[in-house]
Amino acid sequence: MEFVFNDIPEGFFKAKVSKIKEENGTYGQYLRITFTIIHEGELNHYKFSGIVKPTPLKQSKFYRWISNILGYFPDHTISTQEIIGKECLVYLAKHNNYYCVMDVSMNPDNTSPPF
């Protein structure tokens, strides 16, 4: 049996939020959001994680990610459980020899873009 190993191309892939875990590190608390790739050929069902600091400011990366996952600007209290199962686009890139989610964009199937 022979195998040809290929790199994952950097870019946006359709995914859904499958898990969120609170963790602590050198710079304090952060969320590890796990996304499952959907409808993307060989990557279908693969999981990749992105890390974001849960900063409660509307100018933060966290607010942008949550807005893009939900498809609207939340102006009320949001539980991380509300975004489990939601679809979005994730930008995968190689970082320290591992592929991870570097950014999150709105699912193009949403009818009301947040931005």
Q: How far apart are the first and last CA of the chain?
A: 49
What residues contact 38, with CB distance under 8 A and at least 6 apart? 14, 15, 16, 44, 45, 87
pTM listed for this prediction: 0.87
Q: Express each pLDDT in 22-52 by its tens digit.
A: 999 998 999 999 999 998 788 889 999 999 9
The class that CATH gives domain 11-106 is: mainly beta
Distance between CA atoms of residues 40 and 71, nearest Å: 21
For residue 81, how far is the Cα from the chain centroid? 14
Q: Express each pLDDT in 76-92 by its tens digit.
A: 899 989 999 999 999 99
> Of 61, 59, 47, whose CA–CA distance to 98 is shortest?
47
